[in-house]
Structure 1
Amino acid sequence: MREDRQLSPAEQDAFGAELDALRNRTLADLGAADARYIRRIRSATRLSALAGRLLLLAGWFPPTWLLGSLLLGLAKILDNMELGHNVMHGQYDWMNDPELSGRTFEWDIAGPGDFWRHTHNHIHHTYTNVLGMDDDIGYGVVRLFPEQRWKPYYRWQPLWVTIQALLFQYSVAVQHLRLDQYFKGRMSREELRPLLKQFNGKIARQWAKDYLFFPLLALLLGANALAVLAGNVVANLIRNLWTFAIIFCGHFTEQAAVFSPCVLEGERRGHWYLRQMRGSSNLEGGRLFHILTGNLSHQIEHHLFPDLPARRYAELAVEVREIAQRYGQTYNSGSFAAQFGSVLKRIWVYRLPNAV
């Protein structure tokens, strides 16, 4: 386990001031290169989706069907990770481009953008890894830390996690409904009804697009509708499994920490930064790998600076790592294989009660 040096209030303030200064320098440097980058990502997403859908019209011929499914899956990953997630954080609001507005962007995924802006941008990033306040800790069905109270159904969590990974877009979408509060009588039917309407409407539109419109279009064009339908299913599975793996690696590795709600009492800016760093994990890889993760491979930098363009995280990471070392803080970074392996170990170990 990590052994970070405990910082005094004065040291916390100095730590926070250094990271604030780094953030401000980066904000002052944003410009044409950042705008050009995100527009290229938007174009690459659209072109990949178009190419994938056209190739799927060729039917079951293995090379074209496989490539079409992969390209469509790539488009969904880019839309979800590097485009949607980052745009909805307001990282490009300074461009004043209506298509890249964090307040209105809608992505190609089951969860409504408004749901994500609340559960992720506000709740998760404010209460990162605080037990009982950050619903992302296990998403309500997985025990990943010994500090979480054990419940009997956790015995089967390897099965729950497998289902969650395959259907990850729905797991994320349903989170905002807070169904646990409804079944406990803490939310009325009247409060739940508008959320369900929005939830059902977005899922209906996604299903109509992927599983009705494009297969019917294929039928009208004389192509194989089943091949198109299957390609869309596979593309969504590819995106679901990839986003699950990246998000779990960013938050639930062996070195990641959780916190008691008491840490929020009078929390200083510097301690907020410490909490973000201690609760996050990075993944090492090349430039393409970072793009495919939405640069959430730099989860530490994302949690420190969620509103800075994610393409900047790699350069920020050099200075963040140096600052962390000077203040005696663990900079949790490792290969995808090592970090994901530690996540799987947590899922297996904490399915059982803590040893007495």
Structure 2
Amino acid sequence: MTLAPERTTSTDSTATGPLPSTENPNMPAPGTVNSRLSVTSAEPRPQRPEFKKSGRPNPAAHLTPEQIEEIGHELDAIRAEVMESRGASDAAYIRKVIKTQRYLEMGSRAALLFSGVKYKGVRPFWWIGTAGLGVSKILENMEIGHNVMHGQWDWMRDPKIHSTAWEWDNASPSSQWKHSHNEIHHTFTNVLGRDNDLGYGILRVDEDQKWTLFYLFQPIWHVANAAIFEYSIAAYDLELGGYLAKRKRLSDEDKAEFRKNAQEVVAKIKRQATRDYVLHPALAAATFTGSTRHTLTANIVANLIRNVWTNTVIICGHFPPDIETFEKTSIEGETRGEWYLRQMLGSGNIHGSKAMHVMTGNLSHQIEHHLFPDMPSNRYAKIAPKIRDLMERHDLHYVTGSLPKQVASVYWKVVELSLPPKREGTTRRATILRAAKRAIKGKGGQGRRY
């Protein structure tokens, strides 16, 4: 049996919450966004090998199939306990966050109307407005948009806070993001060749990814990617790279579908650019104390703050050392317990203050999020000790660290893995020179693997 995502149905009230209310029968059932695995093995799975095909140790080799399924049952129980207890306090939490974000954005944009005012050589309204706008964009993208579109709040039956209706302040249209993120990444987490989030197609972030000359320059575009992250994600969700690589082989229908999706992305970017870079700077110019130029730069900096922060949080949850990757063949016939195991081993956390957790969209609890992507984000901190205890009892590494530690480890990893692996009888420099010569001669050095 091949692994396949299966959407939950509205008849499973434990997994998805209450059934649709008679007051709004057309509202989609909760839990219909996140692909949930409900597969089980008809026959016991064999014991996991001690080593992967690459020769690296298998961190779950010591677990028997029965132990893995027992882990799955324990995680199912944790999930059920939380999902059945969702209520007024959870709803109040997300409504408070949304209200705070909207007031913060309005206040920040109001402050920027006076961005031209100078006091003792400083423009205080520019600094206040820029900082506030940057924080509001982070809140909207992380704790609100990302989590709403995961279906975490669908159970509330509020059409304004529903995964099918939310459109976020980001270059990528929500429908395209939900497909690439919810349906593909969260199903095939860290599976080489199946999960495109593993380096986003431009980074080598694991030793089991084959090296090519292309990766030699990844430290440069890793930093550049952080600055324009929302646009990189839009291109990624659009599958722009894949389209350009195989467009000559695509059917007319596939090309038409790509053009349709591309038009959606362009339209979304135009709306955002008009609001941030035309409308609000023009409003500032209409005030005698405002400044088109200063309001424009404030919006640019606020978007830059959001992009860099979002990129930082995501790389810390997916790319630090000790986070595992998996081969395609290893997920054939995968049980629910094994899917849970893969989520735990393929994610990493950031420890910090409550404010930091909110600013990360609670993706600082990336392990818990990958286990239960449609669980309300405010519950992750409460279940984290249980998840850590479960993993430690089964001798599984619970990857976590401070934000500076996780960021530094990822950046070092990006630099280290930009170089070819060490081989007996040759040097890294020799490998790079051979690849460069082949590229210059037009013999496919860019795509050759080492």
TM over 0.5: yes
Is 1:42 matched up with 2:103? no
Aligned residues: 356
Q: Could you tell me whether the CA contact under 8 Å between 2:115 and 2:124 is conserved in 1?
A: no
Is 1:231 matched up with 2:286? no
1:108 match:
169
Please, which of 123, 142, 147 is the counterpart of residue 86 of structure 1? Answer: 147
Structure 1 position 181, deviation (Å): 2.5
1:122 match:
183
Query: Which stretch shifts more, 56-65 or 122-131?
Result: 56-65
1:308 match:
375
Alignment partners' CA distance in 1, 2:107 and 2:285: 18
Please, which of 197, 206, 211 is the counterpart of residue 272 of structure 2? Answer: 206
Structure 1 position 191, deviation (Å): 2.5
Per-residue Cα deviation, 1:245-289 (whole angstroms, up to 9, x for no partner)? 000000000111111111220001111011101110000001000
Query: Which stretch shifts more, 109-118 or 212-221?
Result: 212-221
Please, which of 107, 110, 121 is the counterpart of residue 54 of structure 1? Answer: 110
Alignment partner of 2:238: what SS? coil
Counterpart code for 1:307: D
Is 1:189 matched up with 2:255? yes
Structure 1 position 58, deviation (Å): 1.2
1:166 match:
227
Alignment partners' CA distance in 1, 2:218 and 2:60: 34
Q: 1:3 to 1:95 in 2, by over 3 A?
A: same
Is 1:217 matched up with 2:278? no
Structure ranking higher on relative contact order (CA contacts 8 Å, 6+ apart): 1
Structure 1 position 221, deviation (Å): 2.8
Structure 1 position 103, deviation (Å): 1.6
Q: Could you tell me whether the CA contact under 8 Å between 1:2 and 1:330 is conserved in 2?
A: no
TM-score normalized with structure 2 length? 0.77
Q: Could you tell me whether the CA contact under 8 Å between 1:154 and 1:352 is conserved in 2?
A: yes
Alignment partners' CA distance in 2, 1:247 and 1:117: 16
Q: 1:2 to 1:340 in 2, by over 3 A?
A: farther
Alignment partner of 1:297: what SS? helix
Q: Could you tell me whether the CA contact under 8 Å between 1:164 and 1:171 is conserved in 2?
A: yes
Q: Could you tell me whether the CA contact under 8 Å between 1:3 and 1:330 is conserved in 2?
A: no
Q: Unaligned stretches of 5+ in structure 1?
A: none
CA RMSD of aligned residues (A): 1.3
Q: Could you tell me whether the CA contact under 8 Å between 2:114 and 2:287 is conserved in 1?
A: no
Structure 1 position 54, deviation (Å): 1.1
Is 1:252 matched up with 2:316? no
Alignment partners' CA distance in 1, 2:57 and 2:92: 39
TM-score normalized with structure 1 length? 0.97
The structure with the greater share of residues assigned to helix is 1
Is 1:4 matched up with 2:70? no
Alignment partners' CA distance in 1, 2:100 and 2:158: 18
Is 1:132 matched up with 2:193? yes
Structure 1 position 173, deviation (Å): 0.9
Counterpart code for 1:283: I
1:66 match:
127
Alignment partners' CA distance in 2, 1:4 and 1:65: 51
Counterpart code for 1:191: E
Structure 1 position 5, deviation (Å): 4.1
Q: Could you tell me whether the CA contact under 8 Å between 1:5 and 1:327 is conserved in 2?
A: no
